[in-house]
Amino acid sequence: MGLVYFLGYLFFEILFSYEFANIFTPVGLFLEVIFTAVVGIYILRTLHFSLALEMQKVMSGEITQEEFMKSGLFRMLGAVLLIIPGVFSDILGILFLMEPVARWFARKFLKKSPSYHKPSYDDEIIDVEIVEIIEEKRP
């Protein structure tokens, strides 16, 4: 199955690059590849700054830890796709850098991680209330 995905990716990569070169000339394709590679390297080098901002969102409760990990993963994947030469990989990289698209992709294709603290249900639970009576001492 992985070979089918790779061949599909390769087909679209060649198709998009060919069409881009027809429209913007091979020099335009070369400049696009160089520009997006520089942008991808810059994003990778500054990734720790954006992760620090996301960590603040986790601490304030705006996002969950799972969302934090997925957003960092897709940011890094988007930057790597920008570094890879080709127009289709650049389009995918730009899409993965967009947060709504990355969240949709994560919900659609990544499996939910199992919870470490699963509630255990016990049929023999007894609800007990402890009442403490305090006697007042009278002089």
Give counts: helices (H), strands (E), the chain. Answer: 5, 0
Q: Which two tokens stand for residue 24?
A: 């913007």
Amino acid at 70: K
The tokens for 113 are 């991680």
Task: Give me the tens of pLDDT residue by residue for the chain, a chain 139 residues long.
Answer: 889 999 999 999 999 999 999 999 999 999 999 999 999 999 999 988 888 888 888 888 888 888 888 878 889 999 999 999 999 999 999 999 998 888 888 778 776 655 554 555 556 767 777 777 777 776 6
Q: For residues 41 and 53, what is the distance between their CA atoms, to the nearest angstrom?
A: 19
Considering Cα of 102, then 5, then 32, then 18, what sign does the dihedral take? negative
pLDDT of residue 113: 57
Question: For the chain, what are the domain ranges?
Answer: 2-109
* DSSP 8-state secondary structure symbol assigned to residue 124: T
- What local confidence, expressed as pLDDT, does residue 107 receive? 79
At residue 41, the 3 state secondary structure works out as helix
Query: What HEC string does 86-108 produce?
Result: CHHHHHHHHHHHCHHHHHHHHHH
